């Protein structure tokens, strides 16, 4: 299907609007909408935080007369009554005659029903314009609805020789302040941050988002992501710094008498304890991801040491790897990025580089597992 230059320009604008909501719309998708007539923009909008207007309603609210207009929207308009009304019906009622959609909504409550509703009302509907870009913008939402799992991003900071800490565990700081600030953007776009008990005991992190709405260039208030500690034996102490910070804490552990005894003190500090099945001696990470998907987490970020990070990679649970490389050499005695039982070159995990850019003095490299290998 061919789209005009004007269609491409308007959908590009809609994608740019959608990106403004990527830090605040979860568990809903980030959507942008531009309504025009004869190529001139009448109104535009993007999805508000849960309970607020969807992109289409936001755009319509700025228009007195939308009759015979066209909407360019990055995701299929919803057709069901949730916290807000169905957007597809709102477009119909407003008198639009054409809707261009970047990609279909995988949510079973929508999943083509919005398109059918628009077509049944006589509107011209075309799909697929910049579909890949639209899917990438909502990759966590899409994966959760298509596969029942959240999108998993593993973040690592390492020296150029692939070391994350000295043999003693000392790791502050591998990268520059600019890179650490950039990590705050990754945290802000995550529904949950996962770490392991080893990292928690060694570094006592807060795992909070420490970047402002102004720095992100957004209008709506940020929410703190769920902080998840994988702690099979429940070694976490109630004195952990995490408990003095705002936001919810989930501790994933195994179900045992010892863990049950220790759990009350952590619950009293405000943590929620989740008892999960075992994979060997450790918490089954697939079960953890299923639990997070049930909690409507679209995107989760793993900030952990070589053991837990290596487990996510080794068990095939990785969707995205973001590495911050510092121009430093730590030496062969320092700790590696991953503990991975790879013994032959043929058993390597191939990665595709999606983006490389310099952040301060460091390099940030974004990679996906290469499905062709």
Structural domain boundaries in the chain: 5-138, 149-369
Residue 212: burial class (beta carbons within 10 Å; 0-12, 13-18, 19+): exposed
What integer best gives the mean pLDDT of the chain? Answer: 93
- The pLDDT value recorded for residue 130 is 96
User: Is 323 annotated as ligand-binding?
Assistant: no
Closest CA to 194 of 249, 236, 243: 249
Question: Residue 167, SS3?
Answer: coil
As a whole number of angstroms, the distance between CA 228 and CA 301 comes to 10
Tell me: is residue 334 an annotated ligand-binding position.
no
Separation of alpha carbons 127 and 148, rounded Å: 25
Return the pLDDT at 346: 84
Give 47-73 pLDDT, tens digit per residue: 999 999 999 999 999 999 999 999 999
- Portion of the chain with pLDDT greater than 90, in percent: 83
Q: Is the pLDDT score of 1 beyond 80?
A: no
Structure tokens at 36: 């025009």
Give pLDDT, residue 53: 92
pLDDT confidence tier of residue 39, bands split at 50, 70 and 90:
confident
pLDDT of 344: 86
364 labeled part of a ligand binding site? no
* Residue-level pLDDT at 129: 95
What CATH class has 149-369?
Answer: alpha beta
Tracing tokens 């004869």 back to the chain, one arrives at: 38
Environment class of 80 (CB within 10 Å of its CB; exposed 0-12, middle 13-18, buried 19+): middle
Determine contact, residues 315/286, Cβ cutoff 8 Å.
Answer: yes
Banded pLDDT at 83 (limits 50, 70, 90): low
> Is 13 annotated for ligand binding?
no
Res 163 pLDDT > 60: yes
Question: For residue 80, what are its two tokens?
Answer: 């069901």
Structure letter (DSSP) for residue 348: P
Q: What percent of the chain has pLDDT over 70?
A: 98
Residue 224, pLDDT > 90, answer yes
**Whether residue 82 has pLDDT greater than 70:** no
| Residue 216 clears pLDDT 60, i.e. is over it | yes
Phi then psi for residue 287, to 5 deg, are: -65, -35
pLDDT in tens, 280-337: 999 999 999 999 999 999 999 999 999 999 999 999 999 999 999 999 999 999 999 9
Q: Count how many residues are written for the chain.
A: 373
270 annotated to bind ligand: no
**CA separation for the pair 201, 194 (Å, rounded):** 14
C-alpha gyration radius of the chain:
23
Mean pLDDT value of segment 225-234? 97
Q: Residue 373: its pLDDT value, please?
A: 56
Which residues neighbour 185 within 8 Å (Cβ) at sequence distance 6 or greater? 211, 216
Average the pLDDT over each of 20-29, 130-139, 180-189, 336-345 and give the range with the smallest value. Answer: 336-345
| CATH number for the domain formed by residue range(s) 5-138 | 3.40.140.10
Whether 81 shows a pLDDT value over 80: the answer reads: no
Closest CA to 97 of 141, 166, 48, 38: 38
Rounded to an integer, the average pLDDT of 137-158 is: 97
Residue 157 DSSP SS3: strand
To the question of whether residue 199 is assigned a binding role by annotation, the answer is: yes
> Looking at residue 326, what is its pLDDT?
95
Taking only the tens place, the pLDDT of each residue in 85-139 is 789 999 999 999 999 999 999 988 888 899 999 999 999 999 999 999 999 999 9
Task: Answer for the pair 236, 251: CB distance below 8 angstroms, yes or no.
Answer: yes
Instruction: Give yes or no for a contact between 185 and 209, defined as CB atoms under 8 angstroms apart.
Output: no
Catalytic choice (44, 56, 76, 320):
56
Residue 60, marked binder = no
Q: Is 263 annotated as a binding residue?
A: no
Higher-confidence residue of 346 and 181: namely 181
Phi then psi for 320, rounded to 5 degrees?
Answer: -150, 135
Does residue 306 have a known ligand-binding role? yes
52 carries a ligand binding annotation: no
Q: Binning pLDDT at 50, 70 and 90, where does residue 150 land?
A: very high
Assess whether 124 carries a catalytic annotation.
Answer: no
Could you tell me if 150 and 302 are in contact, meaning their C-beta atoms sit under 8 angstroms apart?
Answer: no
275 φ/ψ angles, rounded to the nearest 5 degrees: -90, 120
pLDDT tens digits, 70-80: 999 999 999 86
Residue 132, marked binder: no
**DSSP state, 347?**
G
- State the DSSP code for 151: E
Q: What are phi and psi for residue 337, nearest 5 degrees?
A: -70, -40
């Amino acid at each position: 299907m061919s789209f005009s230059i004007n269609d491409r320009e308007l959908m590009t604008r809609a994608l740019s609007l959608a990106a403004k909501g990527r830090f605040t719309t979860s568990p809903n998708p980030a959507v942008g909408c531009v309504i025009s007539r004869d190529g001139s923009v009448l109104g535009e909008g993007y999805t508000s935080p849960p309970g607020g207007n969807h992109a289409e309603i936001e755009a319509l609210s700025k228009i007195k007369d939308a009759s015979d207009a066209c909407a360019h929207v990055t995701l299929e308009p919803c057709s069901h009554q949730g916290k807000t009304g169905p957007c597809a019906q709102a477009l119909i009622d407003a008198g639009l005659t054409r809707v261009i959609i970047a990609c279909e909504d995988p949510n079973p409550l929508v999943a083509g029903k919005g398109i059918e509703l628009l077509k049944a009302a006589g509107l011209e509907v075309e799909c697929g314009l910049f579909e890949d870009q639209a899917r990438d913008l909502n990759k966590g939402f899409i994966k959760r609805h298509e596969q029942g799992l959240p999108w998993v991003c593993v973040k690592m900071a390492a020296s150029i020789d692939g070391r994350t800490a000295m043999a003693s565990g000392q790791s502050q700081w591998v990268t520059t302040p600019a890179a650490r600030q950039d990590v705050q953007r990754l945290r802000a776009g995550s529904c949950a941050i996962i770490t392991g008990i080893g990292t928690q005991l060694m570094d006592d992190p807060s795992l909070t988002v420490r970047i402002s709405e102004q720095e992100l260039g957004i209008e709506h208030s940020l929410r703190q992501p769920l902080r998840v500690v994988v702690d099979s034996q429940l070694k976490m102490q109630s004195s952990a710094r995490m408990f003095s910070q705002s936001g919810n804490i989930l501790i994933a552990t195994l179900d045992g008498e010892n863990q049950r005894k220790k759990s009350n003190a952590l619950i009293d500090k405000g943590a929620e304890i989740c008892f999960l099945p075992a994979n060997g001696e450790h918490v089954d990470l697939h079960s953890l991801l299923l639990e997070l998907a049930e909690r409507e987490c679209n995107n989760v970020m793993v900030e952990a040491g070589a053991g837990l990070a290596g487990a996510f990679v080794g068990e095939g649970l990785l969707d995205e790897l973001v590495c911050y490389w510092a121009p430093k050499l730590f030496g062969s005695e320092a700790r590696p990025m991953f503990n991975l039982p790879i013994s032959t070159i043929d058993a390597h995990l191939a990665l595709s580089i999606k983006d490389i850019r310099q952040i301060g003095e460091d390099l940030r490299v974004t990679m996906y597992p290469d499905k062709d290998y």
